[in-house]
Amino acid sequence: MRQQIKQGRNARRRFLRDLTRFGAAATAGTLLALPAWAQGARIRLGLMLPYSGTYAQLGTAIENGLRMALDEGRGRLGGREVEFFKVDDESEPSKATDNANRLITRDKVDVLIGSVHSGVAMGMLKVARESGTLMIIPNAGADAATGPLCTANVFRTSFSNWQPVHPLGRVMFEKGHRKAVFITWKYAAGEESLTSFKEGFTAAGGTVVKELFLPFPNVEFQALLTEIASIKPDAVACFFAGGGAVKFVKDYAAAGLKDKIPLYGSGFLTEGVLAAQGDAAEGLMTTLHYADSLDTPRNKAFRNAYAKMFKAEPDVYAVQGYDTGLLLRQALDRVGGDIGNRKAVVAAMESAVIDSPRGQWKMSKAHNPVQDIYLRRVEKGDNKVIGVAWKALEDPARGCKLG
């Protein structure tokens, strides 16, 4: 799918501005000698996001957030108009490298942006590393992307899978839970969330007594819920997101477990899905780098503007898309739109300070946000912040040699 946006002034004004910037005395001949960026060619953004399947809503929220940030910058990056090239990645890792290669070779994108699913992001990362294309990950938490496979041209504006759940083990231990079951989908995001949770819970003194998996994006939870009931742990922790999170939370309550065995999760469990989960979600506690109810003027302004623009409530995915736009704006304004000046663009992204609705954050040396992780509880259909579970949490970036 291909979509163009022209959000700037008319071509004549652009032409005159470029003449001014690169020397008012430029003749038609010298203008032809200018590089494409200096002639005001559009910046080409390649979006690889899920627009179908269990993560479809997440992909749309990311794109909305990104468009909103660009809109606030009058639709320009470093003075240049923007053109979008979109692919529905279907959260299907086996198609990721072909899709990414197509965006680079056919559509000649300047930046690859994606994806939601860790497996898809790993395929994109492979292509970005081989081709040297600038890539921004607006969700997928695959630890390796800002760990052993970190690289100068790849940045993340969201989180590593290690980050949101790392404080959860300590939180649950402090609430008196000693034996926990962890349940999730069997793919990188679920497995890495489990590893991180186990690290934190074990360090606090707890034990993960059982690890339960089902294939992504399967939602046949019944047999595993029966197993949880028979194990009778003190609590259950989980990673689920999108449509799967709706079904899991409802099935957990319908199985009669909600009032017997407290359910916790990384905050994706209740992001963007509270209306669909209804009463089944009330009281659930989660940890995440954002919460709707963050009581800051920045968050309130963002939420109002988003609701006005899209007639929908924003969630963490919208925030991550928005921050992707802020990062691009900041970096390209700094280099005057010269996206080909890779060294300068990377340096600008590395030193960016993002004034995000989630709170201000900066990039770690491994190109991943250093950010606060909030403890939230669902109250009357809202993710209410009840504290900061971990201040300025930085992913350990094990194996990353950057910086």
Task: Give the interface with ligand BEZ as residue ranges (CB under 6 A).
Answer: 116-118, 139-141, 161, 189, 241, 268
Query: Is-contact 281 274, C-beta < 8 A?
Result: yes
Q: Which is nearer to ligand BEZ, 49 or 225 (CB)?
A: 49
Nearest-angstrom CA–CA distance, 81 and 65: 18
Spatial distance between the Cα atoms of 22 and 117, rounded to a whole number of angstroms: 42
| Burial of 220 from C-beta contacts in 10 A (0-12 / 13-18 / 19+) | exposed
Quick one: 38 or 241, whose CB is closer to ligand BEZ? 241
Q: At its nearest, how many Å lie between ligand BEZ and the CB of residue 350?
A: 23
H-helix or E-strand spanning residue 112? strand 111-114
Between residues 261 and 284, which has the closer beta carbon with respect to ligand BEZ? Answer: 284
Q: How far is the CB of 131 from ligand BEZ (least distance, A)?
A: 22
* Residue 363 beta carbon to ligand BEZ: minimum distance, rounded to whole angstroms: 19
Please say which residue, 54 or 151, places its beta carbon nearer to ligand BEZ: 54
The least distance separating ligand BEZ from the CB of residue 32, rounded to whole angstroms, comes to 45
> Contact at 8 Å (CB) between 153 and 125?
no
Query: C-beta of 189: minimal distance to ligand BEZ in Å?
Result: 3
* Burial (CB count within 10 angstroms: exposed 0-12, middle 13-18, buried 19+), residue 295: exposed
Distance CA 237, CA 239 (A): 7
Structure tokens at 340: 């080909």
Nearer to ligand BEZ, 70 or 100 (CB): 100
User: DSSP class of residue 198?
Assistant: H
Its sign, for the CA torsion 176, 179, 185, 188, is positive
Angle at 300 between CA 72 and CA 167, to 5 degrees: 110
Q: How many CA atoms lie within 13 A of 112 on its CB side?
A: 34
Rounded to an integer, what is the distance from CA 79 to the centroid of its chain?
A: 26
CB of 190 to ligand BEZ, least distance (A): 8
Nearest distance, CB of residue 142 and ligand BEZ, angstroms? 6
Nearer to ligand BEZ, 79 or 167 (CB): 167
Q: Decide whether 29 or 215 has the Cβ nearer to ligand BEZ.
A: 215
Residue closer to ligand BEZ (CB basis): 270 or 299:
270
We find the least distance from the C-beta atom of residue 83 to ligand BEZ, in angstroms, to be: 27
Residue 214, C-beta contacts closer than 8 angstroms, at least 6 positions apart: 185, 186, 220, 221, 224
Closest CA to 167 of 350, 374, 376, 389: 389
